[in-house]
Amino acid sequence: MPFTSCYLFERLSTPQLERLKSISREQKIQKGQWLFREDQEAEHFYLIKDGAIELLTIVDEKIEIPISMVRPKNGLVGIAALVPPHQYSLSARAAQDSTLLVFDRSDLEDLNHEDPDLVCIIMTNLAQKLLARLKETRQELKIHFMNLVRSVTF
């Protein structure tokens, strides 16, 4: 059950998890198919139940930069559907035949009227994850910087 292991749904109650499950639907996607492309309007986000989705950014028609491979355990793609301006910043393609749980942005917006606390918890979890990613990026910068200093000093 992917709900309980996804960072986005931490600290939600069992009824809240059930309510979320009720607005999701299953979707299959074959290896090599595109789930979404960068700059498209972000209408959905996806939990990966089975398989693998690769996130990448396209430099030009010949060059792709891989960003990450998202797998079932904590697998979530399409978080741009959760925050304005609701536009995917990466492209997503199935690296294997995969089964996804799809959530529509409009359903989540309806849920916000019904249970604002639920959406508040989700947004806090998302902010936490994003802040952690920024910290990792800065940590990498720091390591590169230290290596640079050492290579100049020694």
Binding site for a copy of itself (CB under 8 A): 57, 59, 63, 65, 67, 79-80, 82-84, 89-90, 112, 116-117, 119-120, 123-124, 126-128, 130-131, 133-135, 137-138, 141-142, 145-146, 149
Measured CA to CA, the distance from residue 90 to residue 40 in angstroms comes to 9
Q: Which is nearer to a copy of itself, 95 or 126 (CB)?
A: 126
**Distance set, CA 120 to CA 11, 16, 41, 124, 144 (Å):** 11, 12, 23, 6, 36
Cβ nearer to a copy of itself, comparing 1 with 84: 84
Q: Which residue has the tokens 């749980």?
A: 101
85 cis-preceded (ω within 30 degrees of 0): yes
Least Å distance between CB 116 and a copy of itself?
5
Query: C-alpha 106: how far from its chain's center?
Result: 17
Q: What is the gyration radius of the CA atoms in the chain, in angstroms?
A: 18
- Shortest gap between Cβ of 61 and a copy of itself (angstroms)? 13
Give whichever of 79 and 95 is closer to a copy of itself, judged by the CB atom. Answer: 79
CB of 32 or CB of 116, closer to a copy of itself: 116
